[in-house]
């Protein structure tokens, strides 16, 4: 008879299991596309600059010192490190969920049952031991261990832990991406600072040239060779150039403070060597092949790990449709008198129970979580594919930019040489009255602008060198 009851119970469990397993909603999942072009344009290069450490790539000792300081003090980077610690603790939390929960329990109490109740009448009739009635009120002391454990049949808890591990590794890649961007931002700001120093030097030299021209115009005006208008126009040009130096100085201050902010410190002077800026040559960049981006770019690896976690979340959500098996147990001592508390076996208590539960009706909450997990997985697929596409476009843009800037710089260098020579020519012609003062002014203005543009182009070349290194995935290792 007892066996028949057991068989019936097992049969009910099997029917419940079959029902819940078959009632799992079907989903349309999306698989990520990892395909990338075989190369960048017609490049056959397989060597990748991203393999170089930032110390090997950036050789300016002042810049290296700034990057070192930033990697220690930058607040955003330190915030990211705490996010990594949070993710590591989540792994511990998930790991603990599929291990047994064991606790110790101690209790003491007193119980007075009404005399005219079934329990009260029973206790009045039963002696606690021969010749001794039940105490009234009845004390109760207990000391023991209890344990609960959800048997992870469908690997729901294990998959949740694996998802937490993937997210932890994702935060590590997120830190690497922050490091890459931080190094690039400092390097770009540093080269901008060098460019501003050079522009300020150009302005000061131009002020000297224009001041000498103003003296000549004043002498010619005294000799009645030019009018007061020429003098005023030259004075205005000198004043305009002098005001320009304060605009540049303000930009220098802001750029220095931007670097200091990235270094996590209050404003102070940034050590640098600006004399060599004009002779800086961009590093030779080896782009490698696009497939290497998947291994080098921290943001791509971060998106890939987030996708892996999202796939595991679907398995976790799906497992909630299936029956769950829980086991609980306890062992200890319980007695009405502390002197009897540890008497074995009379005060010994123990229990062992198992329960199995499965959702049958009103599973809307579970379905919603399941559908949401799938939608987030599809989002993660699109984010992964977008990250790969963005990385490829960044590299392709910077490779083209480096090539075009090199050609532009060569032409602008020739333009500066031509306009620098024209300043002396225009001054000589002006002295011999073969050119008017407007030609001199325009020539000086064009020469100043061309020198500024040359410095800007050099800065863009250095920035492109920094950006391509970051785009290829360099800087974090």
Tell me the average pLDDT across 359-376. 88
Helix axes 228-262, 437-471, angle to 10 degrees: 10
> Around Cβ 445, how many Cβ atoms within 10 Å?
16
The pTM of this model reads 0.84
Which residues are registered as beta bridge partners of 352? 329
Q: Give the pLDDT score at 2.
A: 45
45, 286 in Cβ contact below 8 A? yes
pLDDT band for position 296 (50/70/90)?
very high
Answer yes or no: is pLDDT of 432 > 80.
no
281, 402 in Cβ contact below 8 A? no
pLDDT band for position 266 (50/70/90)?
very high
pLDDT band for position 9 (50/70/90)?
low
Residue in this structure with the two tokens 């048997």, named with its chain if needed: 151
Tell me the average pLDDT across 366-382. 94
Tell me the average pLDDT across 399-425. 92
Tell me the average pLDDT across 416-433. 83
Residue 373 to residue 137: CA distance in whole angstroms:
56
Answer yes or no: is pLDDT of 1 > 60.
no
Q: Give the pLDDT score at 288.
A: 92
Tokens read off for 109: 């109490």
Q: Give the pLDDT score at 253.
A: 97
Tell me the average pLDDT across 225-246. 88
Which of 173-187, 199-213, 246-260, 377-391 has the weakest average pLDDT?
199-213
pLDDT above 90 coverage of the chain, percent: 48
Q: What is the rounded (10 degree) CA torsion for 247, 248, 249, 250? A: 50
Half-sphere exposure of 30 toward its Cβ, with a 13 Å CA cutoff? 18
Question: Number of H helices and number of E strands within the chain?
Answer: 11, 6
Q: Give the pLDDT score at 3.
A: 46
Q: Give the pLDDT score at 176.
A: 95
Q: Give the pLDDT score at 5.
A: 56
Which of 3-17, 159-173, 233-247, 263-277 has the weakest average pLDDT?
3-17
Answer yes or no: is pLDDT of 6 > 60.
no
Tell me the average pLDDT across 296-309. 96
Answer yes or no: is pLDDT of 322 > 70.
yes
pLDDT digit string (tens) for 59-100?
999 999 999 999 999 999 999 989 999 998 988 888 777 788
């Amino acid at each position: 008879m007892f066996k028949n009851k057991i068989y019936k119970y097992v049969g009910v469990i099997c029917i419940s299991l079959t029902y819940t397993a078959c009632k799992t909603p079907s989903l349309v999942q999306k698989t990520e596309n990892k395909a990338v072009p075989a190369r960048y344009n017609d490049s056959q290069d397989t060597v990748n600059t991203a393999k170089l450490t930032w110390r090997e790539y950036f050789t300016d000792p002042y810049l290296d010192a700034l990057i070192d300081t930033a990697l220690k003090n930058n607040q955003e980077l330190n915030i990211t490190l705490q996010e990594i610690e949070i993710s590591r603790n989540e792994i511990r939390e998930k790991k603990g969920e599929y291990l047994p929960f064991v606790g110790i329990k101690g209790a003491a109490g007193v119980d007075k049952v009404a005399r005219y109740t079934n329990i009260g009448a029973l206790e009045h009739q039963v002696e606690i031991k021969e010749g001794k009635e039940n105490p009234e009120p009845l004390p109760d002391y207990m000391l023991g261990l209890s344990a609960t454990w959800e048997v992870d049949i469908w690997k729901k808890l294990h998959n949740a832990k694996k998802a937490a591990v993937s997210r932890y590794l994702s935060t590590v890649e997120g830190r690497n991406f922050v490091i890459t961007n931080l190094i690039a931002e400092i390097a770009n700001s540093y080269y901008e600072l060098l460019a501003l120093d050079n522009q300020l030097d150009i302005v000061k030299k131009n002020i000297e040239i224009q001041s000498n021209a103003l003296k000549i115009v004043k002498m010619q005006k005294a000799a009645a060779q030019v009018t007061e208008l020429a003098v005023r126009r030259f004075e205005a040009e000198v004043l305009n150039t002098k005001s320009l130096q304060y605009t540049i100085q303000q930009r220098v201050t802001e750029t220095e403070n931007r670097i200091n902010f990235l270094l996590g410190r209050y404003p102070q002077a940034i050590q640098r060597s600006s004399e060599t800026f004009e002779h800086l040559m961009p590093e030779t960049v080896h782009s490698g092949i696009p497939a290497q981006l998947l291994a080098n770019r921290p943001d791509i690896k971060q998106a890939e790990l987030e996708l892996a976690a999202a796939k595991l979340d679907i398995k976790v959500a799906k497992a909630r449709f299936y029956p769950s098996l829980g086991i609980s147990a306890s062992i200890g001592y319980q007695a009405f008198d502390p002197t009897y508390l540890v008497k074995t076996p009379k005060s010994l208590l123990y229990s062992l129970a198992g329960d199995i539960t499965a959702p049958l009706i009103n599973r809307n909450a579970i379905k919603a979580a399941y559908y949401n997990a799938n939608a987030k997985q599809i989002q993660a697929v699109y984010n992964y594919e977008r990250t790969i596409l963005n990385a490829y476009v960044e590299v392709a843009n910077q490779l083209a930019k480096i090539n075009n800037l090199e050609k532009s710089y060569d032409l602008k260098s020739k333009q500066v040489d031509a306009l620098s020579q024209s300043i002396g020519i225009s001054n000589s012609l002006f002295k011999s009255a073969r050119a008017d003062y407007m030609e001199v002014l325009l020539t000086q203005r064009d020469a100043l602008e061309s020198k500024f543009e040359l410095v800007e182009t050099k800065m863009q070349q250095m920035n492109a060198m920094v950006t391509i290194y970051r785009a290829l995935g360099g800087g974090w290792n």
